[in-house]
Amino acid sequence: MIKETIGNIGDLAIGKVTLELENWTPMKITPEQNQAYCSAQRMSLKLNSCLGEAGDNNECSNQKPTDIITIRKSPDVRIENGIGDFFRGLNFIAYKFTNGTLNKNVLPELLGYIFMFETDFLVRENDGGSANVTITLVVDEKPEALIEKMKPRGGVEEKGDGIFCFDYYMGFQVIVVNELPAKEKAWLEALMEHH
C-alpha cells in the first residue's frame, strides 16, 4: 500500500492510497486483457446540510467530519463480497455517520461534491457517466428514516444482511456495520482503517 498526500482545498483534505486487491477475480482470460486496476483516495469533509428531520435531535452540531474513500476500478475487477459486488467504475464510501446524522439531506450534498470533483469522469462517454458511479454510506445502526424516505422514489432493495440499495440520481448502498456478516465487516473495517 502506498499513501500520498495530495493537498487541501478549504476544509477538504485529500490523500491518495494505492493498494493491491486480495479479493478480486479477473474477468478476462489473457494477460493483455487483464490490465485491471483499483486505486483509492480519502477525503475528509464537513457536510453542512446534515440537518435533522423536523422534531429530531440534531446531532450535526457535534458531528465529526465525514470521511470518503474513493475507489476507481476497471471493469475487469470484481470484488467478491456483498459490498464490492455493487461497485462500478467510480465508487465512494462515506463513513463516520450515526443513525441521527445520516438522513435524506446528506444525499444532495454528497452528490454536489461528486459533481464538483469528478466532472471529467461524469462526462466521459465510454466508461464514465453517473450510471457508472456508486455511493456507499456506512452507519452503525439501520437509518430507518432515510430508508423510509427512499422507498417512494423507486424502492429500497435489501441485498443481504446489513446491505440496502436504492437509486437517487446515482446508485446508493447503505451498509449497516452491526448487521454485516463477518467477512464483509472485516473487509470494510480493514479498508476504513488503512485510509
Could you read off the pLDDT of 156-168 as tens digits, one per residue? 999 999 999 999 9
Residue at 156 is within a domain: yes
Is the CB of residue 66 less than 8 Å from the CB of residue 93?
no
- Model confidence, pTM: 0.73
The tens place of each residue's pLDDT in the chain, 195 residues long, gives 556 665 555 555 555 555 455 554 444 444 443 344 555 566 666 665 554 444 455 555 444 567 888 888 887 788 888 999 999 988 999 988 887 788 888 888 888 888 877 877 777 777 678 888 999 999 999 999 999 999 998 889 999 999 999 999 899 999 999 999 999 999 898 888 765
User: pLDDT by residue (tens digit) across 134-190?
Assistant: 999 999 999 999 999 999 988 899 999 999 999 998 999 999 999 999 999 998 988
Residue at 112 is within a domain: yes
Q: What pLDDT is recorded for position 179?
A: 95
| Region label for 59, one of left (φ > 0), alpha (ψ between -120 and 50) or beta (otherwise) | alpha
> How far apart are the C-alpha atoms of 185 and 101, rounded to whole Å?
21
Residue at 97 is within a domain: yes
For the chain, what is the domain count? 1
Report the relative pairing of strands 12-18 and 2-9 from DSSP bridges: antiparallel
Q: What pLDDT is recorded for position 31?
A: 42
Residue at 32 is within a domain: no
Torsion of CA 102, 103, 105, 111, to 10 degrees: 60
Q: Is 121 helix (H, G, I), strand (E, B) or coil?
A: helix
Residue at 120 is within a domain: yes
Q: Which domain holds residue 134?
A: 2-19+37-48+62-193
> How far apart are the C-alpha atoms of 118 and 167, rounded to whole Å?
19
> How far apart are the C-alpha atoms of 159 and 52, rounded to whole Å?
27
Residue at 25 is within a domain: no
Residue at 171 is within a domain: yes
Q: What pLDDT is recorded for position 10?
A: 52
